[in-house]
């Protein structure tokens, strides 16, 4: 009776001495490879990917991670099982054309052990920078394993082994493409769900205070205001010009109620332009622009709010 090696011994054998491992598998009664071999390795790969994603995110387990990564891990596990079963079915269906055995159990054994390289390569997802390279190397090694097993386990004759293998490889490529498309579509839906959850759980941001509404509908330009005020010491500046820079309203519900001097007066004669805003029984005064007593300099600025009673 052939002694069946354990999981670790089997993996070591297929990774170090694949030809001998296939010869040993051919002498065994097939059965149980899915539950005793593929599922444990797929679970390890799934956990490695989940932990690797957490490491890459710095263990910042936000809504996106909590929703997306477990779903992604579950899909990878599911596709690993479905991929092995689908490849085994293709091998079974094509076997009569190439003189191979059409035994479904042998086909499942071939697909399960042939996936060893890819499943072990998936452990590289534990560290995101090497994950693509580990998966690529694992996929190439699985291709080698599948080729070695076509004769030893599937019983394909040497003359037809290459054709059988190439046909199976094409089927595997089609399965991989379909899996990638299905995975992408599923993850798009999960991303949309995660975005909705993140938006729903995000704290509401307080509304920003409304910007002052200027008398002439223009944006407040402090530099232009200072330039006009500086001219007050050199020539007459109509107060109407500077009034255009004074807001009709201020944050907090203040509305402009007075302007001194009145629009049309000369700023040079009056010395400065002031305005008053009121909100209920509170008011605020601003000196918008002015000049010194001798009229040789001009200045502009916003003074601090001066609240008071009416």
Identify whether residues 111 and 229 lie together within a single domain: no
Per-10-residue mean pLDDT, the chain, length 310: 76 95 93 92 93 85 78 90 93 92 93 95 92 93 94 92 92 86 84 75 59 47 57 52 66 70 49 66 55 36 38
Return the pLDDT at 191: 78
| Phi (first) and psi of residue 188, to 5 degrees | -60, -45
Query: DSSP assignment, residue 285?
Result: E
257, part of any domain? yes
Identify whether residues 145 and 288 lie together within a single domain: no
217, part of any domain? no
Residue closest to 119 by CA, chosen among 67, 57, 44, 191: 44
Identify whether residues 196 and 235 lie together within a single domain: no
Return the pLDDT at 304: 34
CA dist list (Å): 270 to 217, 251, 287 = 25, 28, 13
Identify whether residues 21 and 168 lie together within a single domain: yes
Query: DSSP assignment, residue 233?
Result: G
Residue range of the domain that includes 247: 222-300
Identify whether residues 38 and 123 lie together within a single domain: yes
211, part of any domain? no
Q: Which two tokens stand for residue 3?
A: 């002694």
Query: DSSP assignment, residue 292?
Result: -
206, part of any domain? no
Q: Give the count of domains, the chain.
A: 2
Residue closest to 242 by CA, chosen among 213, 219, 267, 218: 267
Place of tokens 């579950």: 74
Return the pLDDT at 5: 78
**SS3 category, 219:** coil
Identify whether residues 167 and 43 lie together within a single domain: yes
Return the pLDDT at 26: 93
Return the pLDDT at 301: 39
Residue closest to 119 by CA, chosen among 96, 144, 137, 100: 137
Identify whether residues 178 and 119 lie together within a single domain: yes
**SS3 category, 273:** strand
Query: Do residues 156 and 26 make contact, with C-beta atoms less than 8 angstroms apart?
Result: no
């Amino acid at each position: 009776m052939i002694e069946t090696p354990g999981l670790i011994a089997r993996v070591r054998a297929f990774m170090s001495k694949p030809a001998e491992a296939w010869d040993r598998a051919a002498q065994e009664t097939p059965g149980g490879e899915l539950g005793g071999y593929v599922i444990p390795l797929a679970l390890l790969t799934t956990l490695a990917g989940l932990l690797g994603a957490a490491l890459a995110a710095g263990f910042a387990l936000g809504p996106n991670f909590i929703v997306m990564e477990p779903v992604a891990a579950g899909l990878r596990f599911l596709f690993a099982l479905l991929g092995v079963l689908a490849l085994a079915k293709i091998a079974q269906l094509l076997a009569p054309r190439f003189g191979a055995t059409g035994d479904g159990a042998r086909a499942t054994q071939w697909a399960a052990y042939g996936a060893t390289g890819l499943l072990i390569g998936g452990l590289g997802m534990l560290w995101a920078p090497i994950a693509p390279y580990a998966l690529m190397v694992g996929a190439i090694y699985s291709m080698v394993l599948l080729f070695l097993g076509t004769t030893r386990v599937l019983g394909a004759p040497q003359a037809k082994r290459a054709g059988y293998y190439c046909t199976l490889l094409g089927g595997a490529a089609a399965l991989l493409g379909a899996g990638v498309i299905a995975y992408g579509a599923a993850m798009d839906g999960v991303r949309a769900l995660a975005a909705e959850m993140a938006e729903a759980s995000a704290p509401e941001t307080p509304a920003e205070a409304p910007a002052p509404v200027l008398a002439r509908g223009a944006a407040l330009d402090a530099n232009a205001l200072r330039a006009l005020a500086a001219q007050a010491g050199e020539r007459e500046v109509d107060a109407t010009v500077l009034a255009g820079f004074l807001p009709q309203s201020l944050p907090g519900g203040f509305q402009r109620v007075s302007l001194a001097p009145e629009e049309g007066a000369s700023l040079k004669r009056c010395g400065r332009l002031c305005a008053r805003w009121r909100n209920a029984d509170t008011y605020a005064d601003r000196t918008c622009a002015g000049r010194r007593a001798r009229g040789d300099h001009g200045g502009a600025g916003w003074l601090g709010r001066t609240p008071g009673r009416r």
